[in-house]
Structure 1
């Protein structure tokens, strides 16, 4: 747009909250009256929107996060995380409180997440004027699938800003995810619950706007559908032992968007995502961290391992 001045590289919508991390001896966890958690139970800020915003900021992108937060200790943790990492945050009042979840984390890094859905309401909305202004000042918008982001999609379309979304472990059928899948220009999702990932990816591209669809598959790498061509992206060997897979998909999305906004071709963007996702698996669940730009570029330049 002629004459426009962007003040933000990426606006992240939604997905702010806190997780309580409980290390468990195995998953699924057998029934017992009680378990002794010797390594401790900890609560830290960081859900999907927070992790994407953190990943973008660590890669040097000007990042702004918009969401609803409660006036509660959990909201204070989220605000502190953003202050610590220099991430601009617009926190709108949420009377129901800040979103929370409990993550059971096994010794192999797998997790089971329990989400408190009482901290949101179907009628939650971002003020349209605020949303338009922040989107108009951004090069790109990343939309989480948490409330109230579904209501923001028509407004984003009207602003003309390109945007991405992450469908996480969508099964390809749940109708809640479809407005996100068919509205975004870039779609990320996990292949975990897909019986035919390629078919789902092509359906997203054919029915929606997405020119790029990425399905991540953990240690099996990822599938990239760009301009109708399907490519398998190899996984990257993590630089340290895997301790927690939480946040790996968010890290992948952040690094992919970094590449996209830097003008890199889709395959290079996906390589960045694979490197960042592997790094995220080495970060303990009790800590919020992401790969830095120098390390990302260095690791991405190495041959696939």
Structure 2
């Protein structure tokens, strides 16, 4: 299958801490590392490792961090034909501070990614794809938002409409809030976590939030609910899909949600039902959490099959 992905590539600075620092405090991490990340990069790398042809639309700066941000993109064979270079903005970075119990704080700089130039979007690249995947961060602001909305319009108007997957992110929803809902209505499949769902709709319960999505026009949703797994929803049905535990211990959840989305889209295009796709996505997200870094754990179709048989 052929995917066109719009989203960020970043350099992730990861700090594993006993506890998050209080204002003015200085603490030493248990472990620290620098890894390639970003929702667009992680989704693309995961899909490529699952055997798909992937084109990634993102933007980096003319700086050394660009090489780090694109390291796994290049190694996994993702096409860089839609990667842009920005002469004025730095490559995006994210600082992640995470504790053993899963508490996390982040400092994120959209930088070059937000300047993705919509004038360089090639209509044929979207029309020829089997699916378009858009990270919610691409819909927050700047030229990148125009690029993403233009791609959705092309996908919907194609002679053979291209299914659109939109994956939200906590930072994106926190920044834009309920206004983001108008941009995700065009998604054929929407993936997001519980916090993002409530913030997107301004609701205080999952059931009410999902009802609001349906009233707005969204028809197929997968909600990530952490250790419980995920919930798949259509206007006619709601189903809890249990989580899957990998054999290795979970040590870093960075990028697990993006890996979930990639595996979900992979399974949908393989003809699986929403629940089956969510189960595969649960497994992929769990596997991704067994290594440090969003893209460190390589996941193949054989890996998924092995975990799903457990």
Superposed pair shares fold, TM > 0.5: yes
Kindly report which structure 2 residues correspond to 1:1-305, keeping only aligned pairs within 5 A, or say none. Answer: 9-27=2-20, 29-37=21-29, 39=31, 41-89=32-80, 90-94=82-86, 95-119=88-112, 121=114, 124-127=116-119, 130-147=121-138, 148-151=143-146, 152-153=148-149, 154-159=153-158, 160-169=161-170, 170=173, 174-192=177-195, 194=198, 195-208=204-217, 210-226=218-234, 228-285=236-293, 288-302=296-310
Secondary structure, in 3 states, of the residue corresponding to 2:195?
A: coil
- Rounded Cα–Cα distance in structure 2 between residues aligned with 1:199 and 1:296: 33
CA distance in 2, matches of 1:161, 1:60: 19
Instruction: Quote the residue 2:201 is aligned against.
Output: none
Deviation at 1:11, TM superposition (A): 0.8
Distance in 2 separating the partners of 1:47 and 1:207:
29
Normalising by structure 2, what TM-score? 0.85
How far residue 254 of structure 1 moved from its aligned partner, in angstroms, is 1.0
- Shift in Å, 1:176: 4.3
Unaligned runs of 5+ in 1: 1-7
Cα deviation for residue 300 of structure 1 reads 1.6
1:136-192 superposed Cα distances (whole Å, 9 cap, x missing partner) = 121001001234443232344333321111112347981342133211110001103
Secondary structure of residue in 2 paired with 1:36:
coil
Q: Distance in 1 between matches of 2:237 and 2:165?
A: 19
Shift of 1:232: 0.7
Segments of 4+ moved more than 6 angstroms: none
- 1:183 aligned counterpart, secondary structure: coil
Of stretches 225-234 and 154-163 in structure 1, the one that deviates more from structure 2 is 154-163
Residues matched between the structures, number: 290
Gaps of 5+ in 2: 199-203
1:64–1:301 Cα change, 3 Å: same
User: In structure 2, what is the equivalent of residue 5 of structure 1?
Assistant: none
The answer (yes or no) to whether the contact 1:45–1:74 under 8 Å persists in 2 is no
Say which structure is richer in helix. 2
C-alpha distance in structure 1 between counterparts of 2:284 and 2:105, whole Å? 22
> 1:25 touches 1:107 (CA, 8 Å); kept in 2?
yes
TM-score between both structures, scaled by the size of structure 1: 0.86
Shift of 1:226: 3.0
Structure 1 pair 227–55 and aligned structure 2 pair: CA distance change class (3 A): farther
CA distance in 2 between partners of 1:184 and 1:10 (Å): 15
